[in-house]
Structure formats: structure tokens, C-alpha cells
Amino acid sequence: MLGSMLGETLKEQGGEPLFRAVESVRTLAKAARSGDTQAGQALQALLSEADLPTLRDIARSFSLFLGLSNIAESHHRIRRRRRRLQEPDATPQPGSCDETFGRLLSQGHTTEEIFQAIVDSEIDLVFTAHPTQSTRRTLLQKHARIAWLLQERDWPDQTPLERELVHARLRTEVEACWLTDELRHTRPTPIDEVMSGLVLFEQTLWNTVPQFLRELDRALRHHTGKALPLDCAPIRFGTWMGGDRDGNPFVTAGVTEEAVALGRWMAADLYLKSITELRDQLSMAECSDELRARVGEAGEPYRAHLREVAERLQATRDAQDNCLAALRQANRTPIAISAEPYSRVEDLREDIHICWRSLRETGAVWQADGAVTDLLRRISTFGLSLARLDIREDSAMHTEAMTAITESLGLGRYVEWSETDRRAFLLRELASTRSVVPRKRPPGDAFSRVAATLEVIAKLPRETLGSYIISMASNVSDVLCVLLFQREFGVDLPVVPLFETESDLEHAGEVMDTLFSTDEYKAGIEGRQQVMLGYSDSAKDAGRLAASWALYKAQEALAETCARHDVKLTLFHGRGGTVGRGGGPTYLAIRSQPPGSVGGRIRVTIQGEMVDSTFGLPGLALRNLEVYATATLDATLAPPRGPTEGWRELMERLATQSAASFRDVVHRNPMFVPYFRSATPEPELGRLNIGSRPARRKAGGGVASLRAIPWVFAWNQTRLLLPGWLGTGESLRTALDSPDRETLIEMARSWPFLESTLDLVRMVLAKSLPDVSERYDELLVPDDLRQIGDDLRRRLQNTVDAVREVIGQTELLAGNPTLRRSIEVRNPYVDPLNLIQAELLKRVRAEATEDVWDALLTSVHGVAAGMRNTG
């Protein structure tokens, strides 16, 4: 239906010639993908001869079609879930509360174990502004309206006129999508990203979270006989938007302060709207003595009390308005604050809880258990800022800042000291009461940047902040350095090392063991430690298979170390959307963690395009919240089996060979980077304006200096998807051709870690199309580099063959027909975009006019929509 509407829109807005051109391309692409070589040649000829306006309009048409297809797929998933829930005798959906609770009970777990595990759950979903969302926010909002209209269209009791109106509104939105410029012509600022994140809370999570908690409460009552406590918030939210300064010079101390103020403003505004609705509902005259003592003789005690709550929330919002005006240096008179703003979430919770107690005491149980309960659960989940803001900075920045201090003190250059000397200096200063920062501030941008950040953190409300994350952490001194800086500036945030490379992951357990054995450190953590694991850079360093094993071992080591030191561990998983950056199905990812590594506590980044694809629509958000809760419960009470010693030894050999093969291609071949930059749109991706931070940590350089996102993004565009599979095939083939063959096959069948790892590799391989990547080589790659592309495509086919042999199936996605069908349906619509993109890359590199750029970037958006992820 949406496709037909798009066709009608193309005729109306672009004319019959455009519609016929799009139909010709579509017909040829479908025939070519079915094996018709003549159709493929005709398609290439048609697109290579087309003029620029035609190419751009064709690219826009296919891009919009794929965007509409994504909406339809999401709607179908939501509709399928709802229909299952409507059937009383239907088998519960895997990963649902009913399915998980019922299965755990059948396995022998008690109702008390399940209840307590849910109550004790600490699941943090952390939204980040990683530059992988290529679709403009304007279009995403139109997509959300289309999704809502599709849901409205399914309502069974519509009159013919109502159905006609829904159809007309859908046509209106599709037309608006076509008439809207899909390109960002300016790079978003960090504050733009903050605002984008807050929209998610306003439009989706504010209403979805209490709905999810009602479902969790219902399932708990049904299976355990116990209700979810009112103050229980198994899932909370964090954000990096406005706090992640790693490699982003535009995230300043002022940006961080403004981000916190915006979050508090939005929270106050949403609470104020909820209170207004509650005042309309609670018109009762009878109340408890406790509430009567507060409101006096008011005839409508709840309304009288909530009016005071509303006044305080208004004051809270006004105070943030004044703060924002001051930060932006707005020339206006501050708003007069007429009531006491809320500064503690406990005060707001108590002001609502007194209403709940009064309603229950006076017999108005339905009133108490309705909107009042929902509001109390929102307060427990969102606090006064919706999401806690993490601060992230590169360890190199701290090292440079500390070097400025030691040079000012005449102690030499900290950056040149050994790890032993650094550690001794930091421990000595931590044990001392004197300040290490000289009265005359040290010179240099690094110290100024670190100091400004910490000074702002020190004055912000503690409950608005999460953790202080050190990216590229590798040594004990990286953590102690931040600890010393925090002490100097009066900051007390949990310090979280982020281990990213294969080597750093290998030594993560040792680093934490040393820290826990250090009194100055152990005394300050109160028996709790958060450690972040980097999925992106480890895969770029060693390849996906080796990185997965390094991450698995790091989690084992960290869990063992924390248990030995009696420290509660929370692992923070820095996953992206693609397999090359640690992405994959949520339930599978959590359930395949090492035994004992979850323990009811987990943090996960939700990055870029995954924010909208998992939480952008209420139905999707509801399902994903449920899956995070049940997967964490499952991994806690019924952890997967660990590897036998024989499996572990073979996995070590697989990872070693996989990493060696990956590095031989990516890091050791001097011709690889020139090939990569010729055969993919990586050099052009900076023009997309999809994030506020630069694509490279440092100017120039090769793969090592490139951030993981554009690295993965570029390979996804050419459909080779190299980061998700390179190195895997060689290691599997060696094992298959050795006495390890049967052991490998058994591991892939019986060990959840390897099973899930290969499942993701299978998905990547099924999406990879060597013939598409070959077209890029034909048009873009110099003759002396062509052999690299040929070699990569041979490796891809060898990997496909090896994986098929391991799983014992000729079809990669035999066990997932839904995904296989989705890929097959999409390919003929993505293929033309790739052909257009390759042609436009050739043109833009020859003559980079703005019109060519716009057409090229349109093709990039289209391929991203077709692949359903970017980086």
C-alpha cells in the first residue's frame, strides 16, 4: 500500500517520465538479482548514461521506498505481537515476561527467586549521539506519524469515512516525505543531539515505561503472586548526549551544563503535564487525615495538594529556563520564582505517594492503582532529569593535562614516565592532603578542558550525573589519574575504565585486580565497580571473531576478579548497531555472556540509528524494554554453559588465527588503506553531517586513526560488510581441515557464545553481495589495487563455505526465514542505489559540484535505509 502511494506521488510530483524510469530500474534490478545477466548489464548501462537530476530522483525514490518499507516492517512486528497477546490460548512470545517466568519456574526456580531477581535488577540503557543515524529528525517524525496511521488503519470499527480519512492522511505524509529535503546541509551541534534525545523521552518513553511496568507487574502477580513494588525501577536511562567529549572538541563544559538544564527542564515540563491530568481526575472530597493535615479544609483536597505540587514543578521548570538563558547569554529578565523548586526526587515522590496512600486508605483503589501509580513509577525511573548524563573523555587528554601539572611543578613530563613512576606519583598525591594543582593554573588546552569539565560537574546536582568514563583505558594510572583530578575539583563520580583494544581487554582483569588491591582506590568505591567494554575498536583492531573472544575472556576475568575482592560488578557494553561494532539481537547478546558476568546488573549503549529502530515507536519500545528485562533475568538465574577446557583451547586457536588473518589484510598490507579509500565512500562520509564529532581521532593516518563508525559505515555501503566476517573463514577452515573438526561443530551447536557469534556472522554473510562491491572496484579502484578487492571477495566466499560446513546447512539463514525473506525482498531495491552511488562517486571524484554531492549523499541515505543500519 505505501509503495503504491509512493508511485502515485512520483507521478504527481515528478511526472510520468520519472515514474516510468523508476519502474524500469526496479524491473531490471529484480531480474538481475534473479540471475538475468542481460538485465544487469542493461541496468548498469541505463544508470551510467542517466543525467544527474534523473539519478538523484531515482535515488530519492528508492531511498524513500526503503524508508517506508522499514516503517511497514516495524508496524507488522508490533501488530503481530498485539495479535498474539489478544489470543488467550496462544503460546507466549519468546522473551516475553510470561514465557520467561513460566520457563524459569518449570526449570525449578522458585517464585521468590524470580521476584527478587526482578526487584534487584539494575539495567541501564544509555542513549548516545554516535553519528550513525543518517535520517533527518524531520523525516523520522513523519515516519512516526505514518506508523501511527498504519496502526489506526488496523482498527476494526472504522467507518468508511474514517478509513478514507486515514488513507488521505497517509497520502499526505508520503507526499510530505517526497517534498522534504532528506539531506542535512549543516552539521548538528551537540545541543541539537541533546534535544533529539529528549524528544525520544517526550514522544515515546514517558508513556511506554509505565505501560511496560504494568505488564511486568501483571506477569509477576500471575506467576509469583507478588506485585511489583511501587519504587521498583528495573530499567533506568542514561545518556552521553552533551557529556561525551572523547574526540569531540565541540562538547565543552558549557554544553554539558546546558544538557543537564535541558534534561531537567523537560522532566519538569512532563511532570507538570501529568499533574495537570491528575488534577482533572482526582476530584474526590474524602481523603486521609495525613493529606487533610496538609491541605486544611479544602473541599477537593487532592486538587488543592496537587496545585501546590504543580506550582513547585512550574518553579523547577522556570529555574531551568533562567539557567538556560544565562548559559546562552539571553538578554531578558529572569523569570520570578514564586515557589520552591524541587531539588530532590524524594520530595516529589513523597508528594505523590501521599495521594496514593490517601486514596488506598479511603477505598479509592482504582484511582490509586491507575494514573497515580503510573506517575510514581515514572518518578522512580526518570528522576528529575529523565536520564543521567555520563561524562566520557580520552585517557590521553588526562595524561596531557597531568603533564601540564607536573611540568608546572618542576617534576618533569608525566607523559614520559613509566607506568610504575606514574602510579607511585598518583598514589602519593592521593594520600596527601595538599592540592596537586598549582595556584597558577598550568598552561595548555588539555588542562583547561579537563579542569573546566570538572568544575562544571562539581556544581551540577549529583543525581543528574552518571559515571565518568575513561576511553582507551589501558593501565592502573589511567584510573588513578582521573581519581586524583576528581579529588582536586570536588567531584565524586564513579570512575569507569573503558577497555577497547584486544590487548587492553586481555589485561582488564589484571588492571582491576591491582586497583582493588590499592587501599586508596578500594576505599572509595563502596563495594561496586562498573567496567566498560569496547566492541567497536576491538573489532577494528583484531576482527570480529577475535574481538568477541577477547570480550568474553575479559568478562570472565573481571567477574572472577570482582568476586575475589567482594565487589559487585556492572559490565557496560559499548555496542553499536552493526555486527562489526558488537550489534545483534538483544536477547541473544545478553544470554550469551559468560556465566556469572551479568548478576542482574548491566549497562548497554543504544547508539545512533538503533535509538529510533528500537525505541522510536511505542510498540517497539515496549517489546525492547521487555526483552532487556527478561534477558537479564534469564542470564542471572539460568546462565548459559561455559566452555570446556578443550573448547577453550580451540577457541583460542581460532581467535589467534582469525586476528592474524585480519591484521595481515587490514594493518600489514600497505596497499589496503589506499584500496579502502578508493573502493568505498569513506572519504566522502564527512559530508553527511550526521554527527557533531569529527570522523577521525587524529588528522590523517590510516585505519587506526579512523573511528569505528565510518570504518563500518563505508563497508556497509558497498555491501561487502568486511568488519563482520574478515578473518573468520580462515580460522574455521583450518579447524575444519584438522582433527578439531568435530569439536568445532559441537561447539557451534552447544556453546551459546560461539552459536550466537556464528549466527551474527551468518546474518552478515547473507547481506554481503560481492557482485555489488565488484562494481565499485570497476568504476573507482586503480588497476594496481584491484587484486585486493578480488582477494577480499575470495575470502568472503571461503567464509561462506566454511560457515555452511560448520552449521551443516547449505542455506545461511535456513533457521530464520523471516530475515532471509526480508533481505531477498530488499536487495532489488538497494542494488540500484549501489550502482547509482558507484557512478556518482566516480563523478564526484572527477568534478565535485554541489549537485553531484547532493545526489551522492542521497544514495548513501538510501543504502543505509536498505541495510537498516549504518555504523
Query: Catalytic site residue 459?
Result: no
The model's confidence at residue 657, banded by pLDDT at 50, 70 and 90, is: very high
Angle at 366 (CA atoms; ends 362, 371), nearest 5 degrees: 110
H-only helix segments in 282-342: 289-295, 301-327
Residue type, 221: R
Taking a C-beta distance cutoff of 8 angstroms, is the pair 175, 9 a contact? Answer: yes
> What secondary structure letter does DSSP report for 495?
E
First-to-last alpha carbon distance for the chain, in angstroms, is 30
Query: Catalytic site residue 842?
Result: no
- Determine the distance from the C-alpha atom of residue 146 to the mean position of all C-alpha atoms in its chain, rounded to a whole number: 23
Instruction: Tell whether the model's pLDDT for residue 149 goes beyond 50.
Output: yes
What would the 3-class secondary structure string for 172-225 be? HHHHHHHHCCCCCCCCCCHHHHHHHHHHHHHHHHHHHHHHHHHHHHHHHHHHHC
Question: pLDDT for 549-570, tens place per residue?
Answer: 999 999 999 999 999 999 999 9
Instruction: Tell whether the model's pLDDT for residue 93 goes beyond 50.
Output: yes
Mean pLDDT of 387-411: 97
Give the C-alpha separation, 461 to 388, whole Å: 10
pLDDT reported for residue 698 = 57
pLDDT reported for residue 133 = 54
pLDDT reported for residue 538 = 80
Instruction: Tell whether the model's pLDDT for residue 203 goes beyond 60.
Output: yes
The model's confidence at residue 490, banded by pLDDT at 50, 70 and 90, is: very high
Q: Whose grid coordinates read 496514593?
A: 356
669-674 long-range contacts, Cβ below 8 Å, gap at least 24?
669/788, 671/784, 671/785, 671/788, 672/703, 672/788, 673/702, 673/703, 674/785
pLDDT reported for residue 579 = 47
pLDDT reported for residue 692 = 63
Maximum CA pair distance of the chain? Answer: 90
Quick one: 159 exposed, middle or buried, by C-beta within 10 A (0-12, 13-18, 19+)?
Answer: exposed
Mean pLDDT of 132-137: 62
pLDDT reported for residue 583 = 44
Count of beta carbons in the 10 Å neighbourhood of residue 162: 13
Is the entire prediction scored with pTM above 0.75?
yes
Question: pLDDT for 796-811, tens place per residue?
Answer: 999 999 999 999 998 8
Q: How much of the chain, in percent, has pLDDT values that exceed 70?
A: 96
Taking a C-beta distance cutoff of 8 angstroms, is the pair 390, 126 a contact? Answer: yes
pLDDT reported for residue 690 = 63
Which residues sit opposite 533 in a β-bridge? 499, 573
Instruction: Tell whether the model's pLDDT for residue 581 goes beyond 50.
Output: no
Mean pLDDT of 368-374: 97
Mean pLDDT of 114-131: 91
Active-site position among 75, 130, 143, 861: 130
Instruction: Tell whether the model's pLDDT for residue 697 goes beyond 60.
Output: no
Give the C-alpha separation, 466 to 59, whole Å: 43
pLDDT reported for residue 596 = 87
Q: What rounded mean pLDDT belongs to the chain?
A: 91
Give the C-alpha separation, 871 to 868, whole Å: 10
Question: pLDDT for 372-392, tens place per residue?
Answer: 999 999 999 999 999 999 999
Active-site position among 142, 143, 305, 540: 540
- At the top level of CATH, the class of 389-578+601-609 is alpha beta
pLDDT reported for residue 871 = 42
Helix (H) or strand (E) holding 602: strand 601-607
The residue among 227 and 685 whose pLDDT is bigger is 227
Angle at 33 (CA atoms; ends 27, 37), nearest 5 degrees: 90
H-only helix segments in 441-585: 445-459, 476-489, 502-506, 508-516, 519-522, 536-542, 544-564
Instruction: Tell whether the model's pLDDT for residue 577 goes beyond 70.
Output: no
3-class DSSP state of 558: helix
Question: pLDDT for 10-52, tens place per residue?
Answer: 988 889 999 999 999 999 999 999 889 999 999 999 998 889 9
Mean pLDDT of 160-187: 86
Mean pLDDT of 235-252: 94
For 297-428, strand residue ranges (E) read 388-394
Question: pLDDT for 152-168, tens place per residue?
Answer: 888 888 888 988 898 99
Instruction: Tell whether the model's pLDDT for residue 486 goes beyond 50.
Output: yes
pLDDT reported for residue 555 = 96
The model's confidence at residue 134, banded by pLDDT at 50, 70 and 90, is: low
Domain limits, the chain: 1-91+137-181+825-871, 389-578+601-609, 643-815
Mean pLDDT of 832-846: 94
